[in-house]
Amino acid sequence: MRGSTSGSGLERCWPLANRRAGRAGAVAADWPEAGRGGAEDAGSGPGAGRRVGRMRLRLRSGALAAGCLLAEALGVALFLRGFFPLPVRSLPRGEARAQPPAEPAPPGPGIASNWTKIPPPLFRKVVIVLIDALRDDFVFGSKGKQFMPYTTQVIEKGTSYSFIAEAKPPTVTMPRIKALMTGSIPGFIDVVVNLNSPALMSDNLIWQAKAAGKRIIFYGDDTWVKLFPKHFVEYDGTTSFFVSDFTEVDDNVTRHLDRVLKREDWDLLILHYLGLDHIGHMTGPNSPLVGPKLREMDNVLKKIHISLLSKEGEASLPSLLVVCGDHGMSETGSHGGSSEDEVHTPLLFISSAFEKRSGPLTQLELVQQTDLASTLAVGLGLPISRNNVGNIILPVVGSKTMREQLRFLHMNGFQLSTLLQENTPAYEKDLGYEQFKIAEKSHGNWIKLYLEGNNSEILLNLGKKVLKQYLEALRTLSSSLSKQVAQYDMYSMMVGTVIVMEVLLLLFLSVPKALSSRAEFEVPLSPPLFSLLFYLMCLMLCAVHVIVCTSAESLCYFCSMSWLTAVGVMMLISALMCGILSAVGKILENSRLPLKNPGASSSSWSEVDVLILAGTIGHVLSLGASSFIEEEHQTWYFLINTLCLALCQELCRNHFLLKECDLQLGTTMKQNFDSIGEASECKNIDVQAASNSKLGKAASSAEFVKGSDKWISLASPWIILICCRLLRSLNQTGVQWAHRPDFGHWLTRGITEARFVYVFVLGIVFTGTKDLLKSQVISADSSVKSTGLWEVYSGLVLLSALLFRPHNLPVLVFCLLIQTMMTKYIWRPLKFDAAQITIMHYWFGQAFFYFQGNSNGIATVDVSAGFVGLESYVEIPAIFLTAFATYAGPLLWAIHLLCYLSSEVSRNSAAVGHGCFCYALMRSIPVAIYIVLVTGLRYHLFIWSVFSPKLLYEGMHVFITAAICLFFTAMDQNHSQKVQG
């Protein structure tokens, strides 16, 4: 069949493509052929929605959108992989263990230092008490004074040093433990794998301690047990899975204490208390439960301290008690972000080796959380772990002699500069490295003086000077190393960006055609010009790839992929480019032809259109500012509110003008119809829709205006607005106003919770069955499909009811209510076209994403949804369930959109295709722009705390949208098949 038509097909196809389809009987002669082609596509299924003719490729707009989104998902994945490189820092721990550096050699011949071994430990026993979510003011502030009397007394009068340790975002437990124990800053991607923490492979304190034969005992959060398997001689892991458990989880740690403290067979004891974190998550930092918990912790500290002191007489070396928090908590009790409350934790060193504090506590010194690893390594007489970027906290070793102190600092500096050498090619130009070299030299001079037996004041002063030089060098080194954590794989990022931008451009260029009523494309597949261009471009890109990959110094993900994949990606890029070029060419060609109906281009814009356009652009632009990302929910609430008001105005105008026209029949009839036409704004691109359709519309509108429906219709935007206002205060999200009281908190207390669950589940079941029955009764004749769609929709609703937290069920109920009202009283009567409806659905979907309590921070992801109905953590279902629960709002609205559009098929046969295309476009615009923005802002201060989580959310949303669009296309294909059949 193809062969028979292909001869004339070429000549016939070009004009067909140029003309706006769907408005003429003039091209009717061409249609049967095209129609059969369409039927064939449909038969070949959604994935292969393209038909390869001799010289062209025909695509439905839905298939185009789905294909584009798949390509975009690939681009985003590449970009993400480049943006979040897995931190490859240093050699794995086992290999090539370098000897610890000797003391710098004094200049001049003859004398040499003989101190090459690791310095002996400073402390006999070390106890680390890590209290999860211990904020600095819980210890140093008024709460500490009130509830932790013993600790306060030790801080103020005892032998202790106290600091505020600053944690780097993401302030989540596992990366913080890694930071504390390795001294490095774990990459952002660690958050994503937070739940199934694999064993820590890089060099760390625990491993060093075990290798040195220290016996380690651990009680507390079982994240440690997973991170350091087989490292502890004795352990008891508690799980942070049951968030509402405030007491058991800590009693399980404390119950071992008495026994262990009596024993002598350990060197390092680590306790990780989770109760405070649980209290914070459930009730916030100001809850009455915090005080007793702090008092409990105080008693634990007292017990340990007294026991350590009582043992001290027997042994030569003192013991050390370290108290720290892994992260703080925000005013709502959550953590993960980078606000001061979440970042600042107390860090306490208590040991009899320290000098008694004389005066009252003045300004607390701010140190980095990573500093603990190197300090403890020195304290235990271990080599500093290789990836450490922290500095030794000098006061802790301050009681030692000058020679020892200098030795410690030299070891730390040597380790840091080695790490710098391994990570930066141009390390010699680094300021910190230069400073370290200078300090090392003067250290050598000092040793020379020392070995000569010079023991005077000069030696001390010189030593102090060297100390200062070392500290300066260490600070510079560690800050330049910390900056390097954000090493981006620019090549992969660029490739991803290019794909995403090309997809966006292609979608933009195909807007006029995709939204025409036929919603089909004819892409010329192999004109010689394009195939030549395609091959040339492939060749060129491959050449560039080879050059980049061979010359790149740093590791690059895209280069490490197999050649076949890389060539595939290159071909995709060139194919997209050719598609863009052909689309541009076609547009140019079209513009040369005289426009047959100028009405299409000069169709006037209603307020709703202006708002939709302005809102989309405004939202995309707002992504450049970190505050707007943190408060993105405000943007969406603002937009949907304005949308509702605009719809209300449209309804009012429709209603009142019609009333007027009822009154003044006759002469003004025509004029009024014009204004209605403008008002109700049927902006089909093919404005075949002449006056008769307007008349028909007016007539149908007049029908609906009758009766009480009119008033419900007028009131519906207001009801929707009120629903949205209620939902907004259900979950306060974001950063600035997150401390406002939520309705949600009222609902999560006691028995009301359970009752709400019953009521809402019953309501939802009722709505679901009603919808199902309705679809079966009303559209029994037409299709099983719409029933199926409603079934899918109801199923999703029920699933989200299962997964949502109980207090979020109102979101679901209001979602259903708003969807019903919108459909019945606003969209149907006002007869918006598919594109407008799609965009409104998209906006509401976004708003509901935030109504659910989501935000653009990692902390709000409700991972507990991933455990519903599972006995233990199973990766695939857990990820799927969590993703579904997080994106339930947008998903439900998208499926509702599909249901609605397929019920509108009778009015506009291409509605589903249009909807799919618009949905893809709406998703592509923010993603593409955001990727470019993030690339530009990659050295921004908030890149890890604000922009990166948002990037993950956007990426995830693209994958989900791609799935939705595939589903849309499948439905569209089925439909066209049915129509053809």
524: part of which helix (H) or strand (E)? strand 520-524
Residue 591 CA: distances (Å) to CA of 121, 297, 521, 584 = 82, 76, 18, 11
Q: Which stretch binds another protein (CB under 8 A): 18-26, 181-189, 373-381, 634-642?
A: 634-642
- Considering the complex, what minimum distance in angstroms separates the CB of residue 675 from another protein? 6
Strands (DSSP E) found in 112-229: 126-131, 160-166, 216-221
What would the two tokens of residue 973 be? 């294909």
- Considering the complex, what minimum distance in angstroms separates the CB of residue 627 from another protein? 5
Cβ contacts of 543 within 8 Å, gap of 6 or more: none
* Residue 941 interacts with another protein (CB under 8 A): yes or no: no
- Rank residues 310 and 675 by Cβ distance to another protein and give the closer one: 675
- Rank residues 329 and 720 by Cβ distance to another protein and give the closer one: 720
Residue 976 CA: distances (Å) to CA of 451, 466, 470, 511 = 92, 81, 75, 21
Other beta carbons within 10 Å of 870: 11
- Considering the complex, what minimum distance in angstroms separates the CB of residue 631 from another protein? 4
Residue 89 C-alpha from the chain's centroid: 24
CA distance 534 to 526: 10
* Residue 637 interacts with another protein (CB under 8 A): yes or no: yes
CA distance 698 to 124: 90
Beta strands at 56-60 and 50-52: parallel, antiparallel or unpaired: antiparallel
The DSSP string of 444-499 is: HHHHHHHHTT--SHHHHHHHHHHHHHHHHHHHHHHHHHHHTTS---HHHHHHHHHH
- Rank residues 661 and 895 by Cβ distance to another protein and give the closer one: 661
CA distance 299 to 148: 8
How does DSSP classify residue 593? S
List the end-to-end C-alpha distance of the chain, in Å, as a whole number.
Answer: 18
Bridge partners of 269? 127, 217
Q: Which stretch binds another protein (CB under 8 A): 478-486, 630-638, 702-710, 873-881?
A: 630-638
- Rank residues 793 and 850 by Cβ distance to another protein and give the closer one: 850
How does DSSP classify residue 229? T
* Residue 722 interacts with another protein (CB under 8 A): yes or no: yes
Count of residues interacting with another protein (CB under 8 A): 29
CA distance 5 to 56: 13
- Rank residues 214 and 728 by Cβ distance to another protein and give the closer one: 728
- Rank residues 500 and 946 by Cβ distance to another protein and give the closer one: 946
Q: Which stretch binds another protein (CB under 8 A): 192-200, 455-463, 525-533, 629-637?
A: 629-637
- Rank residues 378 and 657 by Cβ distance to another protein and give the closer one: 657
- Rank residues 648 and 878 by Cβ distance to another protein and give the closer one: 648
* Residue 675 interacts with another protein (CB under 8 A): yes or no: yes
* Residue 721 interacts with another protein (CB under 8 A): yes or no: yes
- Considering the complex, what minimum distance in angstroms separates the CB of residue 650 from another protein? 11
* Residue 725 interacts with another protein (CB under 8 A): yes or no: yes
Instruction: Report the amino acid identity of residue 190.
Output: D
* Residue 776 interacts with another protein (CB under 8 A): yes or no: no
Question: Rule CB under 8 A: which of 439-458 touch another protein?
Answer: none
For the chain, the C-alpha Rg in angstroms (whole number) is 34
Instruction: Report the amino acid identity of residue 659.
Output: K
Q: Are 191 and 213 in contact (CB under 8 A)?
A: no
Write the burial class of residue 116 (CB in 10 Å: 0-12 exposed, 13-18 middle, 19+ buried).
exposed
- Rank residues 679 and 837 by Cβ distance to another protein and give the closer one: 679
Instruction: Report the amino acid identity of residue 131.
Output: I
Among 31, 150, 557, 638, binds another protein (CB under 8 A): 638
- Rank residues 267 and 630 by Cβ distance to another protein and give the closer one: 630
x-or-dash pattern for another protein, window 860-899, by CB under 8 A? ----------------------------------------
- Considering the complex, what minimum distance in angstroms separates the CB of residue 504 from another protein? 25
- Considering the complex, what minimum distance in angstroms separates the CB of residue 604 from another protein? 9
* Residue 627 interacts with another protein (CB under 8 A): yes or no: yes
CA distance 852 to 504: 29
Among 392, 466, 657, 897, binds another protein (CB under 8 A): 657
* Residue 343 interacts with another protein (CB under 8 A): yes or no: no
x-or-dash pattern for another protein, window 5-24, by CB under 8 A? --------------------
Angle between helices 457-483 and 431-451 (to 10 degrees): 160
CA distance 513 to 21: 9
Q: Which stretch binds another protein (CB under 8 A): 257-265, 725-733, 758-766, 902-910?
A: 725-733
Q: Are 357 and 160 in contact (CB under 8 A)?
A: yes
- Considering the complex, what minimum distance in angstroms separates the CB of residue 811 from another protein? 17
- Rank residues 600 and 629 by Cβ distance to another protein and give the closer one: 629
* Residue 852 interacts with another protein (CB under 8 A): yes or no: no
CA distance 224 to 233: 13
The 3-state DSSP class for residue 340 equals helix
Q: Which stretch binds another protein (CB under 8 A): 352-360, 485-493, 521-529, 673-681?
A: 673-681
Question: Rule CB under 8 A: which of 142-161 touch another protein?
Answer: none
What would the two tokens of residue 370 be? 């990573």
Q: Are 106 and 451 in contact (CB under 8 A)?
A: yes
* Residue 341 interacts with another protein (CB under 8 A): yes or no: no
The 3-state DSSP class for residue 603 equals coil
- Rank residues 450 and 637 by Cβ distance to another protein and give the closer one: 637
The three-point CA angle 435-439-442 to 5° equals 145
- Rank residues 189 and 647 by Cβ distance to another protein and give the closer one: 647
* Residue 679 interacts with another protein (CB under 8 A): yes or no: yes
- Rank residues 312 and 607 by Cβ distance to another protein and give the closer one: 607
The three-point CA angle 15-21-23 to 5° equals 120
- Considering the complex, what minimum distance in angstroms separates the CB of residue 71 from another protein? 34
- Rank residues 832 and 850 by Cβ distance to another protein and give the closer one: 850
Question: Rule CB under 8 A: which of 169-228 touch another protein?
Answer: none
Instruction: Report the amino acid identity of residue 155.
Output: I
CA distance 971 to 792: 12
Q: Which stretch binds another protein (CB under 8 A): 117-125, 189-197, 262-270, 633-641?
A: 633-641
* Residue 645 interacts with another protein (CB under 8 A): yes or no: yes
Among 641, 688, 693, 767, binds another protein (CB under 8 A): 641
- Considering the complex, what minimum distance in angstroms separates the CB of residue 649 from another protein? 9
- Considering the complex, what minimum distance in angstroms separates the CB of residue 722 from another protein? 7
The DSSP string of 568-589 is: HHHHHHHHHHHHHHHHHHHHHH
* Residue 642 interacts with another protein (CB under 8 A): yes or no: yes
Bridge partners of 434? none
Instruction: Report the amino acid identity of residue 766.
Output: F
Cβ contacts of 471 within 8 Å, gap of 6 or more: 391, 394, 409
* Residue 653 interacts with another protein (CB under 8 A): yes or no: yes
- Considering the complex, what minimum distance in angstroms separates the CB of residue 616 from another protein? 16
Q: Are 122 and 378 in contact (CB under 8 A)?
A: yes
Question: Rule CB under 8 A: which of 728-767 touch another protein?
Answer: 728-729, 734, 736, 740
* Residue 631 interacts with another protein (CB under 8 A): yes or no: yes
The site for another protein (CB under 8 A) is made up of 625-628, 630-631, 634-635, 637-638, 641-642, 645, 652-653, 656-657, 675, 678-679, 721-722, 724-725, 728-729, 734, 736, 740
